[in-house]
Structure 1
Amino acid sequence: MQPGGGGAIRVLNVAEKPSVAKAVAEILSRRSMQSRAGRSQYNRIFEFNYAINGRACHMLVTSVTGHLMELEFDDRFRRWHSCDPAELFHAPVRKSVPQDKQAIKQTLEEEARRCQWLVLWLDCDREGENIAYEVIDVCTSANSHLNIWRARFSALIDREIHESVQHLGRPNKLFADAVDARQEIDLRIGASFTRFQTMLLKDAFVINVTGDDRNLVLSYGPCQFPTLGFIVERFWEIQAHEPEEFWTINCTHTSDEGTASFGWIRGHLFDYSCAISIYEMCVSEPMATVQNVRNQEKLKYPPYPLSTVELQKRASRYFRMSSEHTMKVAEELYQAGFISYPRTETDNFSPNTDLHAIVREQVNHPVWGAYAQRLLNPEARLWRNPSNGGHDDKAHPPIHPTKFSEGERNWSPDHTRLYELVVRHFLACCSQPAVGAETTVEIDIAGEQFNASGRVILSKNYLDVYRFDSWGGTLLPTYNIGQQAGIGTDATMHDHIKKLLDRCYATKDENTRFSPTNLGEALVMGYDEMGYELWKPYLRSMMEADMKSVSMGTKSKSEVLQSCLQQMKACFLDARVNKAKLLDAMGTFFARSNRPINETQNLVEVVRPCGACNGSEMVLKRRATGEFMVGCRSYPQCRNVVWLPGSLSEAAVTNQVCPICAPGPVYKIQFKFRRRDIPPNFDVDHLGCVGGCDDILRELMELSRFGGRSQAATPARGPTPNGVGQGGPRQDLHTNFRPAGQLNNENPSVMHSQGFRSTHTQNPSSASGSMAVPNDNQFVHHLKDHGAIGPFLPAEPTPLCYCGLPAFVK
């Protein structure tokens, strides 16, 4: 950054947390800043003078508290029953400042109006970059002339903060776009699946896991569910294991130098008779012959530099700290300036990092200070540049100590332990590997081979400071090849996990071992039965790879959103078609309830755009009476509707799009008919389209309209008794509205409305109200001819008979 000349610049500095803002202000002002309140009582403003690259600046430092904005659906989609969950894959979303952050927003706007520069001190990762652009949006709305800069740092220490402000850069929009894409994908997938499975299952079963199953939410998260999948899969593996008896032979040799235990080369046998026979052979010939002695040097290498995941794993293993608690303690140590930023994937240090300076900070520590001094002493030959773990997130270095401490008064035991782990880990990874001599001895007893290994540590090196690692071994007596002796023989992801526990999908015992609850296992089992690996990590790992591609600029945000959401919507629609498998899985663990499942009955599924109002969608619905229909969502403003055959028992929209019908997309529907209500020459299961191309569905609709199963034996063939036109057909099969029309002067028995064009053929006895049903030649394949969703999406005015039903013409 090379700022120009002129007077003092008024600079607004924004950090991610109040504690970080205070730390930055204290460092830059050398603890001589002034403090005043902002609009938010928790986000104060610190003022002081400073020089950036020789340019006088008046600095104002304040903060946000994490994300300033939230991504949410438009109001009409936010209520659970306002739409079909499938619509959430493409429903409008907006990013706005929530009510509880309005005070922070007002502070930023007021201060931005009086400043020339905006310097962003958000965390230096993709999430921090996204928050930076939220701050930019708010500040530039108040002052569009702001000069925007980005401060990049990894530790709240004097050296790094001063270095950062003197080398300001620009924010990275690609990083922010990657987070925007991830947020939108998570919102759409999570909301659609959560609504689907909650409305499907909550009232269908007695799920008393929280004490209030009426308010239970069965949430689905793209990260949370694969984490649950790991737990369930391991649980299944343990449950499937069948213990089986086996036999092994061990032998020991004791001499003046000690005792050696030899293991059988075969390991073990499952056949008792065979094992006892070999054992008896060894007992009958108890003379062991040494066949081979091997001596070789072994090295035990120090760990790679510390990443976030490794910190969590080691804190859990050494201290039994949960992932969530580990990160909380690490964040507090970071904000107090004792360790570097604790959220990093990087496990190798940059060649430019002054590792010796970090070690020098620790030489006065009463416990590991002497080791740090040895490490810096060239004559000790203990120093070794850290190994490269192969991961670099390009944002932060590995976790390392940034300030010396013998333990602070306000630290809990966990703060002390975690700080010690970070320091010892850093010192260890800068050290030489431990060196040992390993001896392996092979012996023969009655033709059976046995071996034993022993190790002597010659130089502990990094093990001197890294007390968490051990490299134990057994010291063997001295053996020579051919030596013989008589022997006696006798016959081993922090936030996602918290959500699983909070939502009663898993439990954790006192040894921090996880097990699925019945609810968690039932959900995974249901999706597993569907064939979609929604509980596996593969889909999420592909999403994460796409996010990285966005941040690198190799893929666009819109490209990733379209690809991922299209794939996940297909999974969602298939899951809904196969919802019976989810219900069956839940039924394995939970009793059915007697409550009405209003949620599932009122679910709507988008079939296609409405051809009548051209602004809404036709959706599949089921009435309380059990009848299925495809109607316009804009009812009652638009009354376009198709009544499906009364012989239907089930119907669900699939993700398959009809390649013929237009305007589209027109999604096919999986139908299930009652066998007793359809002719024997029709299948009970049918994947059909209501766009006009499906002859089978058209015939079943006509059969349902003009007669029952007795007339359906020969579908739409031959005349039908006149009485059918009066009492046989369902009056609401084709339309449920009676629009006002006008008499057609050319045909007085026809009245026009806004629908498709068709007529009845009037019977000579029409005066008495009876109508003749047209024969086969008089039927028109109106679905195709009019490009409609059945007979009711208009292409031209629809003539209606005086009886109120659409007429048919050739």
Structure 2
Amino acid sequence: MELIICEKPKAALQIALALSDGKTTKRNYKGIPFYEIKHKGDSITVGAAAGHLFTLAEKEKNKWTYPIFDIEWKPIPEVNKKAKYAKNFIDALSFLAKKATSFTIACDYDIEGEVIGWNILRFICKTEKASRMKFSTLTKPDLLKAYENKLPTIDWGQAHAGEARHYLDYYYGINLSRALTNAIKSAGSFKIMSTGRVQGPALKLIVDREKLIKAFVPQPFWQIQLTATEQNKKIIALHEKGSIFDQNEAKRLFEKVKDAKEATISDIKKKTSKQLPPTPFDLTTLQTEAYRCFGISPTQTLSIAQQLYLAGLISYPRTSSQQLPAKIGFKRLLNALAKNPNYTNLANQLLSKKTLSPRNGKKKDPAHPAIYPTGIQPKSLAKNQQRIYDLIVKRTLATFSESAERQTITIKISCKGENFIAKGTRTTKPGWHLFYKPYVDLKEEELPELIEKQIISVKKIELLKKTTLPPKRYTQASIIKELESRNLGTKATRAQIIQTLYERGYIQGKSIKATELGIALIETLGKYCPSVLDEKLTRRFEQEMEEIRENKKTTEQVISEAKKILTKILNEFKKKEEAIGKSLLAAKMEQQREEETIGVCPICKEGVLRIKKGKYGKFIACDNYPNCKTIFNIPKGAKVSPTSEQCPKCGFPIVIIKQNK
């Protein structure tokens, strides 16, 4: 009997249905489903994991000592008591492996999927011999093709690179986190602190931006704005000098023109530019677009895309590719999408073209194409699933469309010897915009039809005072884009790294702000262990793992180098542990004070409302007790977040209360 090993139960079902000659028999072992089928007369069992079933851990527990390098793969339930579910998956695969005479790995074809499959082979099946299915969609044609063209072995380059990544991440994560936690313990407190190989440089980017914002000094400037109307359309023009930082100069120019009642069109320039269709989605561009269009976080987007993939609706989402190869069958895909009433008209428009060719991007992925819909009709999708699916379909359709054209009109207006500039932009040929509605983010700013030397009526001229703005804070979308541009982390891990920074209390808010603790961590590491934050070192390891994948380097070479670097870092850290701890503790206490402060008490107007802990849980009370006895209960298990806003009716600070599920 051949045992096909899949990464998830839903994938196992799809593969069983695709390969079966007819009947698919569902059975289970300890509640874990597996499928028995016949394929061309041969008996096949399709079983599943639940993602990673093994994790790295210390061979012997050493509590909070460091450095730790003596580690090994262990079943997840032995390491994480909350992962008891994994034991039944391990037992089920062990039960099936004993009956198998051959094995095929059908986990996701990427580094993580290879590690999952390899670990199951060596630790459960007690072999490393297996065939490998390679596919990018869970559709019947792709799965049949992948099975008939199985690779003779697993992808050893991916497997070794993946294992090296796990070792590096564990070494950095466990050792640096223990060092930080020990440091804060040495200062007389306790808090789980963490950083990592990519987490540190990622947080540094956010902290550096925060420092720029805090150091920013707004500069006043002035603009002179002319407002006119023609053909019932408003014309807004700015003085040709734009932003004027000399107040006296701005006032002089304003005094010269402020009483003008008319102006003359002195020049009109029209420029038409082409807008090429968008490229297909890779994971990062899908995440950034989903955040822009719907406010869905990158972590959520990946989760939803994975659900759509397992349902057979889209191709594999963890891809770096922005290219759609011809082998996916463009005409077949569009014909399938045309059967969906939501896309019938758009797909048919593209099918009427003589040739079908997507506008592919530059980015490639050796394992998978860009993200695209398979053409299978969705049956019932949740709101956000439907949103992400529609975004992927519209994006794919738009890549096959024509360029759009936009016309920019620049008008020079003469008024009392001074020139003002008005600009308008409009779409003259929608092209791909029609296919990407409503996700096209372009403003139409039309100006009235004007001719040179035409006199227009001036409604008002204003002297506007403005100030320069600080740099923008990162959003979850823009920070993962920044990490990608710097080659920090992987397409599949960047969103989770940012999520970890939130969970550790290092950052907060949709517009990401570094907390006092996050700033202190980066400043402390920068002072005592700067190499932990070194982007170049992180990028070097990323490059070396790619060289492992390409069989140019061995895992042992990279791991040995990492141990030497990390040992040096940790030895330096130990020498300065107390100073590091004091610095972090001060920041922790300050952040805790901020998080507990609700606002000024509107009753006594002297005390401050703070979150306090009592015998029966948390509550909010005025710190001017016993002079002021203002007090509020907090629901058990709820999280309270101050808003710095006040109720207009009673004057009490407004808080957000989130009840833990």
> Structure 2 length as normaliser, TM-score?
0.78
Please state if 1:12 is matched with 2:10: no
> In 2, distance between residues paired with 1:96 and 1:106?
14
| Structure 1 residue 396: Cα displacement | 1.3
Instruction: Tell me whether 1:360 sits opposite 2:330 in the alignment.
Output: no
CA-atom RMSD in angstroms: 2.6
In structure 2, what is the equivalent of residue 545 of structure 1? 543
In structure 1, which of residues 321, 328, 334 is the aligned counterpart of residue 303 of structure 2? Answer: 328
Corresponding position of 1:41: 31
Are 2:410 and 1:440 equivalent residues in the alignment? Answer: yes
| CA displacement, residues 647-686 of structure 1 (integer Å, 9 cap, x when unaligned) | xxxxxxxxxxxxxxxxxxxxxxxxxxxxxxxxxxxxxxxx
Which residue identity is paired with 2:72? R
Give, in whole Å, the separation in 2 of the partners of 1:361 and 1:449.
Answer: 57
Q: Any residues of structure 2 matched to 1:400-549 within 5 Å, and which?
A: 400-405=372-377, 408-409=379-380, 411-446=381-416, 448-466=418-436, 467-485=438-456, 487=458, 488-491=460-463, 493-508=494-509, 512-530=510-528, 532=530, 534-535=532-533, 537-549=535-547
Determine whether 1:29 maps to 2:20.
Answer: yes
2:226 and 2:572 map into 1 onto residues whose CA distance is: 60
For 1:102 and 1:584, the matched residues in 2 are separated by 42
1:342 equivalent among 298, 310, 317: 317
Residues 581 and 384 from structure 1, CA distance in 2 versus in 1: closer, same or farther, beyond 3 angstroms? farther
Instruction: Summarize the Cα distance change of 1:106–1:490 in structure 2 as closer, same or farther, 3 Å threshold.
Output: closer
Match of 1:392 in 2: 364
Kindly state the Cα deviation for residue 507 of structure 1 after the two structures are TM-superposed.
2.2
Partner of 2:658: none
Inter-partner Cα distance in structure 1 for 2:411 and 2:232: 15
Amino acid at match of 2:340: H
Query: Retained in 1: the 8 A contact 2:531–2:569?
Result: no
Cα distance in 2, alignment partners of residues 235 and 553 from structure 1: 41
CA–CA separation in structure 2 for the residues paired with 1:23 and 1:389: 30
How many aligned residue pairs are there? 551
How much does 1:180 deviate?
Answer: 1.1
Within a 5 Å distance, the mapping from 1:286-297 to structure 2 comes to: 288-297=263-272
Say yes or no: does 1:115 pair with 2:87. Answer: no
Cα distance change on mapping 1:92 and 1:147 into 2, 3 Å: closer
Which is helix-richer, 1 or 2? 2
What is the 5 A alignment of 1:718-729?
A: none
Question: For the residues of structure 1 that align with 2:87 and 2:145, how far apart are their CA atoms?
Answer: 33
**Which of 202, 210, 234 matches 1:235?**
210
| SS of corresponding position for 1:279 | helix
SS in 2 for 1:352: helix
1:115 & 1:591 partners in 2: Cα distance?
Answer: 58
Instruction: Give distance in 1, aligned partners of 2:113 and 2:25.
Output: 27
User: 1:591, 1:485 → 2: CA distance?
Assistant: 64
* Match status 1:65 vs 2:55: no
| Alignment-derived partner of residue 474 in structure 2 | none
Tell me by how many angstroms 1:299 deviates.
Answer: 1.9
Structure-1 separation of matches of 2:419 and 2:571: 60
- Please tell me the residue identity of whatever aligns with 1:527: L
Counterpart for residue 142 of structure 2: 160
SS at match of 1:246: strand
Post-superposition shift, 1:108? 3.5
- TM-score using structure 1 length: 0.64
Deviates more, 1:569-578 or 1:353-362: 569-578
CA distance in 1 between partners of 2:138 and 2:516 (Å):
46
> What is the deviation of 1:176?
0.8
CA shift in 2, pair 1:264/1:384, >3 Å: farther
- What is the letter of the counterpart of residue 131 of structure 2? W
Among 567, 587, 596, which residue is 1:589 paired with? 587
1:230·1:536 contact (CA, 8 Å) conserved in 2?
no
> CA distance change for structure 1 residues 575 and 274 in 2, over 3 Å: closer, same or farther?
farther
TM-aligned CA distance change 1:115 to 1:234, over 3 Å = same
Contact 2:16/2:24, CA 8 A, preserved across alignment: yes
Opposite residue 495 of structure 1, the aligned amino acid is Q
Residue 156 of structure 2 corresponds to residue 178 of structure 1: no
**How many angstroms apart in 2 are the aligned matches of 1:494 and 1:516?**
17
CA-CA distance at 1:31 after TM superposition:
6.2
- Determine the C-alpha separation between the residues in 2 that align with 1:520 and 1:103: 40
Judging changes above 3 Å, is the alpha-carbon distance between structure 1 residues 485 and 109 closer, same or farther for their aligned structure 2 residues? closer
What is the one-letter code of the residue matched to 2:70?
A: P
CA contact (8 A) 2:184 2:582 kept: no
> Contact 2:529/2:573 (CA < 8 Å) preserved in 1?
no
Maintained 8 Å contact 2:529/2:572: no
Q: Which residue of 2 aligns with 1:672?
A: none
What is the match of residue 124 of structure 1? 109
Contact 2:319 2:368 (C-alpha < 8 Å) held by counterparts: yes
Look up the match of 1:264: 239
Q: How far has the Cα of 1:465 moved from its partner?
A: 2.4
**Structure 1 counterpart of 2:523, one-letter code:** M
Return the offset for 1:148: 2.0
The answer on 1:94 being equivalent to 2:81 is no
Q: Please list, as runs of the form range in 1=range in 2, the aligned pairs for 1:793-804 lying within 5 A after superposition.
A: none
Partners in 2 of 1:385 and 1:567 — Cα distance?
49
Find the residue that maps to 2:340 and give its secondary structure. Answer: coil
1:767-806 superposed matches below 5 A: none
Q: CA deviation at 1:283?
A: 3.5
Distance in 2, Cα, partners of 1:587 & 1:67: 36
Gaps of 5+ in 1: 1-9, 207-213, 593-810
**Cα separation, 2, equivalents of 1:583 and 1:424:** 52
User: In structure 2, how many angstroms separate the alpha carbons of the residues matched to 1:113 and 1:134?
Assistant: 16
Residue in 1 aligned with 2:651? none
- The structure 2 residue matched to 1:255, chosen from 230, 238, 242, is 230
Work out the CA distance in 2 between the residues paired with 1:533 and 1:303: 39
Contact 2:22 2:38 in 1 (8 A): no
Tell me which amino acid in the other structure corresponds to 1:191: I
How far is 1:109 from its partner? 4.1
Note the residue ranges of structure 2 that are not aligned, 5 or more in a row.
79-83, 464-468, 470-493, 591-661
Q: 4+ residue runs of structure 1 moved beyond 6 angstroms?
A: 284-287
| Offset from partner CA, 1:195-231 (integer Å, 9 cap, x none) | 111011135255xxxxxxx5x3112222333332233
Give the AA of the match of 1:295. Answer: K
Q: What displacement does 1:116 show?
A: 3.0
Q: CA deviation at 1:60?
A: 0.8
Whole-Å separation in 2 of the counterparts to 1:30 and 1:49: 6
Q: What's the secondary structure of 2:306's corresponding residue?
A: helix
Flag the 1:531–1:116 CA change in 2: closer, same or farther, 3 A: closer
**CA distance in 2 between partners of 1:564 and 1:393 (Å):** 27
Question: Conserved in 2, the CA contact under 8 Å of 1:307 and 1:347?
Answer: yes
Instruction: Find the aligned partners of 1:574 and 1:447 in 2 and give their Cα distance.
Output: 69
CA spacing shift, 1:530–1:62, aligned 2, 3 Å: same
